[in-house]
Amino acid sequence: MTSPVPRVLVIGGSDSGGGAGVEADVKTLTARRAYAAVAITALTIQDTEAVHDILPIPPAFVARAIRTALADPGADAVKIGMLGSEAILTAVAAALEGFAGPVVLDPVLRASVGTPLLPAEALAALRRVLIPRATLITPNVPEAEALGGFVIRDPADLREAAVSLLTLGVPAVLIKGGHLAGEEVTDVLATLDGVETFTAPRLSTRHTHGTGCTLASAIAAELARGVPLPAAVQRARAYLRRALAAAPGFGRGSGPLGHWADGAAAG
């Protein structure tokens, strides 16, 4: 049973610029009327143009933070973002043993500016150790291609890739199609029950820093309050669009979103 205020434990890297990582997660969860606890995997120095430095957190410290948060204040769902290394990935998986709630895994492989955030040699461990532990994974197109070893060129490829990634042992896959060209953006949700497609007009903006974090956390908030997965995805996508439209225009590069877009609304 979920608590009256849904609780989400966020596991991921900290973005000093505030646009992505656990900062975006906490802003999203607060906007969606959920409580956020955090276990930070790495400290990053970044702005809207580049990731300037990364300081990993010791894996044992990350694992202890996870276990402590699960015990008190507790969690109705978990959202995982940047992991940074195979050692941290393995520690996270071990710390989540016994957690029975939904786990949303955003397999962050690169920052939006292109900086690698998970070594290529850790991909096998991600597939083997953590993805089967997740309820839902939310890769973008390059991440899905890296995980599955295929090329995605159009929405038909998105559908095929999403279904293919189910073979990794995860019950649901949401591939985000924003990297594909076109005036519309199509996301594909594949589950063991079938495939659902979500399409919307593309918003013309360069302020897209933290979109993946925001979407995954918004989905986690809905799952934490007991909303079925397709409806959770639909609500989260609608919130993301509002946050994109409300972007404050900060920075010279890929700027942050307007996570306050919902005001008093949580529906």
Catalytic hit among 90, 148, 176, 214: 176
Continuous segment of H or E residues that includes residue 194: strand 194-201
Q: What are phi and psi of 170, to 5 degrees?
A: -100, 140
| pLDDT tens-digit map of 169-222 | 999 999 999 889 889 999 999 999 999 999 999 999 999 999 999 999 999 999
Is residue 213 part of the annotated active site? The answer reads: yes
| pLDDT tens-digit map of 75-92 | 999 999 999 999 999 999
Is residue 212 part of the annotated active site? The answer reads: yes
Listed by start position, the domains of the chain span 7-248
Catalytic hit among 84, 210, 255, 258: 210
| Amino acid at the residue 36 | A
Q: How many CB atoms within 10 Å of residue 14?
A: 20
- Residue closest to 135 by CA, chosen among 210, 222, 73: 222
Q: Following CA atoms 193, 106, 253, 27 in sequence, which dihedral angle do they give, to the nearest 10 degrees? A: 100
Q: What are phi and psi of 119, to 5 degrees?
A: -60, 145
Q: What is the DSSP pairing of strand 7-15 with strand 77-80?
A: parallel
Query: Does the pLDDT value for residue 266 go beyond 60?
Result: no
Catalytic hit among 212, 214, 255, 258: 212
Catalytic hit among 138, 186, 208, 214: 208
**How far apart are the C-alpha atoms of 132 and 266, rounded to whole Å?**
31
**How far apart are the C-alpha atoms of 17 and 251, rounded to whole Å?**
10
Catalytic hit among 27, 148, 213, 214: 213
| pLDDT tens-digit map of 10-48 | 999 999 999 999 999 999 999 999 999 999 999 999 999
| pLDDT tens-digit map of 152-168 | 999 999 999 999 999 99
Is residue 176 part of the annotated active site? The answer reads: yes
The tokens describing 111, both together, are: 């920052």
Is residue 210 part of the annotated active site? The answer reads: yes
Is residue 208 part of the annotated active site? The answer reads: yes
Q: What is the CATH number of domain 7-248?
A: 3.40.1190.20
